[in-house]
A = this chain, B = another copy of it.
């Protein structure tokens, strides 16, 4: 079931800013991805109800909670229960950070609720509570804005590049927190970001937008193994492998994961044996060898089969099938010839253990 289905049309004068069908899954995080000026911010604003009717003629939004927008009708933003984290924060300047939070808390929607203290801890706002927004740094303001949106208990959370001004450490921490919130609170979210790394750590669905139109909408896993997509968007291409924890090797600070019958070693994570773990496999981190290398710093060699080959401007994109899941490698044409790669052929994929990424707590 979907959280909402919509036809979105936004015009500025005669210029269409948005003109597309849109559907949002009931569960999980949908990443909205697209170039600058594609209409991402505009899309979030229509969903939140912030664009006045005269600009949205022709839009229809049917949500799980009722009609939000139709030919004659426009449900006021404060009635939609949609949280929005703005690109430019928009903290209320006349009250402190703490008051910004309580403002949102007092007006909670009927979505999943977080306590004040939890939110303050998650976003590291402890020392900033008595500050006025003007006295925050860019990253501090962004954290406060996220906190304010979450404590408001929205039914749907829209986030417009919420981590753009954050350093790596804060970003990682908040991504982990958002992942927890997603799974524990089952709060549906739309996440706009230019950072594919962020998207892939958080998203379940990806929608690509360009020139005001949703041009793709797919589960993350489908997208990352779609060879055409990968060809087009090589810079983005990463895949997700679903694995389970087999056990930990504390003295080596490694965790052993199983992927079907094979095993993969990754830097130690906290998940319990048997837990599901999502592994990020970046195309660029995969190398192929004809046979396993004895003495190499690369710990993981997976036996795979070539599922698809696509030549593209001197580079070969290889879709690899391994225990029923897929991931990609990107190699040069020269390497392809050297390895005499063909579809269906068995091959060994080397993945650096250190290159693996999982959304749970982990070392860098």
Interface residues of A (CB under 8 A from B): 12, 34-37, 40-41, 87-88, 135, 137-140, 143, 160-161, 164-171, 194, 196, 234-236, 252-254, 265, 267-268, 284-285, 287-291, 293-299, 313-315, 329-336, 338-339, 350, 352-355, 363-364
Contact = CB atoms under 8 A, between A and B. Distances in A.
A171 B294 CA distance: 41
Please give me the 5 A-B residue pairs with the lowest Cβ-Cβ distance, nearest first: A253-B314, A36-B139, A290-B295, A297-B331, A288-B297
B37 A315 contact: no
Contact of A167 (B36, B288, B339): B36
Contacts of A143: 36
A15 to B, nearest CB: 10
B265 A37 contact: no
A170 B252 contact: no
Contact of A165 (B164, B234, B268): B164
Given A330-B354, A339-B295, A364-B234, A169 B35 contact: yes
Nearest to A291: B295
A297 B338 CA distance: 8
Contacts of A339: 295-297
Contacts of A265: 332, 334
Given A138-B161, A363-B313, A166 B296 contact: no
A88 B164 CA distance: 12
Contacts of A171: 194
Q: This chain: how many copies in the complex?
A: 2
Given A88-B88, A166-B194, 13 more contacts: A35-B167, A87-B138, A168-B194, A168-B235, A253-B314, A253-B333, A284-B285, A289-B295, A289-B297, A290-B294, A291-B295, A296-B339, A330-B354
B194 A165 contact: yes
14 contacts: A87-B138, A161-B165, A168-B196, A252-B332, A252-B334, A254-B334, A287-B287, A287-B298, A289-B297, A290-B294, A296-B339, A315-B354, A331-B354, A332-B353
A90 to B, nearest CB: 11
Contacts of A298: 287, 335
B168 A37 contact: no
Given A36-B140, A313-B253, A315-B267, A332 B299 contact: yes
Contacts of A164: 161, 164-165
A266 B318 CA distance: 18
Contacts of A253: 313-315, 332-333
- Residue among A40, A137, A196 with most chain B CB within 10 A: A137
A296 B285 contact: no
Contacts of A268: 314
Contacts of A40: 137
